[in-house]
Structure formats: C-alpha cells, structure tokens
Copies of this chain bind each other. A is one copy, B any other.
Amino acid sequence: MDKIEQSTQRYEAVIRLALERGFFNPASEIYGDAPAGFWDYGPLGASLKRKFIELWRRELVRRDGMLEIDGAQVLSKNVFTASGHLKSFVDPIARCSRCRAVYRVDKLIEESVGIHVPERLDLDKIEKLVLENNIRCSKCGGELTDFSYFNMMFKLNVGATDVDAYLRPETCQSIFVDFIRLFKVMRCKLPIGFAQVGKSFRNEISPRQGLIRMREFYQAEIEVFFNPRKADELPKAEPLMDYTLRLKPLNSEEIIEIACREALGEKLLSSKLVAYYLALIQQFYEKAGIPREKIRLRQLGEDERAFYAVEAWDLEVETSLGWIELVACNNRGDYDLSGHQEVSGHEMTVQDDGEKVLPHVFELSMGIDRSIYCIIESALSNIGGRKVLRLNPELAPVHVAVLPLISREPFITRAKQIYDLLRLDYDVVYDDSGSIGRRYARQDEIGTPYCITVDHQTFEDDTVTIRYRDTTHQIRIETSKLLEFLSKNFRIS
C-alpha cells in the first residue's frame, strides 16, 4: 500500500494537490479576517466542476427529460415562511460564559461523549444533556450558557428602506415558487422533473474540512413532481428495474446489493418512482468514476431526516474521512407546494388526466463541492511509482496537453500550431518547460488523459504520438486525425 492510501494522508494529499496545482483554495486567503467556509475554485477545479455539472446535465437532466431553471439566490421573506426555513432551519447553539466562544451544542455533545442528539430536540433537554455529562467549553473549560436555536439563513437588507430578504439555503425553493407558471407555459404533464444548479448559503456555526461543510456551496437539485397515486406507474423506469442498488436500509448494519425490482418486492422502497431515481443517481456516480463498492444509499431514520422529508435516503461515498453524504434523496410529500399554496394564496394543483392533483415531490439534492472532493480523493493513485490522478477522462480539467519533445525549433512552432488547432474546442495546455518526462509527470498529477508530443518523426510523416495517462502507452496518429480522435473520446467539452 502506498502511503497516500492512509486516511489523514489522503485528505492532506488532496488539499496539497488543490493548493499547489490550482484546484481550489480558501477565499480571501491573503486576509486575516477571511471567514471560514468560503472557497475559490482555481482554473483546474473550475474546469473539473464544470465538467461534473455537464455530466450531471447529460446523465440526469437530459436522460430523464427534465427542465432546468436558474433562479435568483435572494428570495423574499415569505418564501421562507412558507418553506418552514424561518422557523425550522435552525441549529442549537450555546456560548461559553467565560470566553464567549460559541458552539453548535449538538455536535459538541456528540464529539465529547458520543451521544447522538436528534434534530429539533427541545432546548431544555439539550441543556440537561450538557449538565448531566459535564460538557464545558473546549477552549477554556468555562460553563456553557445562552442555549438557543440559531437560524442558519443569511439575512439581507434590500434597498435603502431595508426590506428583509434571505440568501437561499437550498436551490429548490425557486422551483416550487415558479412551479405553477412553468408547468403551464412549458406544457408539462406529471411526472416531471425540474432541475437547478447554483449556489446556496448556510451560516454554519463551525464550517469544517475544506469542501465538505461550507457556508457557500454549489448544489445541483432535482425536484420530481408526481401524482402520489401513480408513483408505481412509470414506464420509463422499466429499463432500470434490473439495476442493482447498494442499499443500507434502516435497521440493517450491512449494505444489501439488490435489484430495484426486488427491493420493491421486499418493500424496502416506497414506489417504483423512488427506485428509478435512486438507480439513476447511483449510476451517475459510477459513471463519474467513483468505484461501485464505495457507494451506498443509506436510509435515514425519523430523527435524522430534514424537517420536510417523509422518506429519505442519503447517497454516501466512502472516503478517508468516512462515509460522506453527497446526495439527499428526499420524499418531500406535498410539504412544499401546500406550504406555498397556503402562504401565497396561489393554487398549486394541476390536472393529471382529468384528476386535480397537488403533486408530491421526490428530490435528489446533490452537493457538488463534496462530490468534487470525493472524486479527486478517489482518483489519487500511485501507478508503478507515478502519481496519477485517475479521473474519468471526461471530467479531466485538461483534456489534452501538447508538448514539443525538445524545447527548441522547429518542435516548438509545430506544437503551437497543434495547440491552436485544438484549443477552441477543448481544454488544452501547451508546455515546453523542463524534460519531457517531467512534463508528462505534471500532466499525470492533474489527470490529463492524453499528451500529444511533436517529435522528430512529425517532420517526416506529419504524425504525433498520443500518450495514455494510465498506461503510458503511446500510439502514433496523423495530425489531421487529432480532432476526430478527441471528438470520439470527449462528449463533454
């Protein structure tokens, strides 16, 4: 086993690669007052993230025929009255009576004495747990006081007269608010998925671990609206009914490998619709390059579920940091549309074959930044002493590098011509600095799947070599065939 196989070392190896090669870095990092939980994607990270989103668009949005919108991040106060976030999107906090440090007290209890504190437990019960277990300030040992629930939304004052509005804590609310308009103008029929990718914001008390728990983060959310009486009528689900899910149901310590059809037969899942979307999302991560055995769909108990969920599965991926939740798959029932219907006074029912229905919602709420972390960690490899980032080639930040074998003319000019030929349609770098071996190594480390090299033979027969990242195997190809080679290998630009 290579040393980066070991757990904290793998995490540190990701962060080192991120900082040293331009994947991501803390935002405002040159300033001492930079708040934690905000990150910038550098050129390589931005490219990887963009391609990950394109893969999501292809494998979920387009494959399923969903509609994708892009809503404002700032929404009115009433939106969050209706959604329940003003009341329920809260974390319990407490303050040290001596040094004034603030703690997310449920996590503090969990970390100090290993007791799991259920969501939305009464404050006096939380205080009792703290007293009984003699939990104190981790910094100065002071007593904890001022127990309260802290709302995690960021409030904004809009205009000079200070109208309250909020940064969205999840992207999906604009989908619910715009649902009736869009269902009509887009001539929809149930079931129909709406998708959105964008930033969300949560004022975490203690952000942690790089891209894993951020205050500003990217989500890709899918909200599938369906007639609850027809959740088992879904012809398009058929081809996936033999797909093998990796389920960890409540009350099971083991991961069960089971086909959708059988999971339905054994009533592990509530409907064919749920089985179909769980299959789609698991399949997506396999296509993104996460090894199948590192993926599980874990069912959540009542005390773990978000306040709007009646049934919930988390897609989790195993990393050196443990199992990480990447996608919350929530059956939200009619919670959202009935809430907005009540507070706004706008009717949210639609016609479904002559029946008037308030649709239910099944959601796939994906954390993009954490997914990027997991993809990078899982791709870190050591092949025969070479550091290689074994990304799915379609996700690689750089599609192809163009290198002159020797850093002088005429190699340089010819290599730059090839770079110019490719760079409008692909992410290409040109590099002539250092030995060819060192340049290959640089590309291996960031996951570039192909290196094109201009060598002596190029000037005889107009061919170049293409070197494959994982095998270092090289083929020769005519330069006139390069665009065709790339278009066969990359569907996502």
A residues whose Cβ falls under 8 Å from a Cβ of B: 19-22, 25, 27-35, 37-43, 45-47, 49, 58, 62-63, 65, 67-79, 93, 95, 100, 102, 150, 154-161, 163, 165, 167, 174, 177-178, 180-182, 185-187, 199, 201, 203, 205, 215-216, 340, 343-344, 346, 423-425, 427, 433, 487, 491, 493
Contact = CB atoms under 8 A, between A and B. Distances in A.
Contact of A72 (B40, B47, B102, B165): B40
B34 A76 contact: yes
Nearest to A175: B40
10 contacts: A19-B185, A27-B71, A27-B177, A29-B181, A40-B69, A40-B70, A40-B178, A46-B68, A46-B70, A156-B156
Nearest to A419: B65
Nearest to A44: B186
B159 A74 contact: no
A280 B383 CA distance: 44
Contacts of A156: 154, 156, 167
A27 B102 contact: no
A199 B218 CA distance: 13
A67 to B, nearest CB: 4
Contacts of A174: 27, 40
A205 B174 CA distance: 24
A232 B405 CA distance: 32
Given A344-B30, A423-B65, A72 B177 contact: no
A43 B165 contact: no
Contact of A491 (B19, B40, B100, B425): B425
B93 A160 contact: yes
Contacts of A102: 159-161
A476 B311 CA distance: 50
Contacts of A100: 161
Contacts of A155: 157
Contacts of A31: 76, 78-79, 177, 343-344
B205 A160 contact: yes
Contacts of A215: 74, 158
Given A22-B186, A31-B79, A43-B68, A159 B425 contact: no
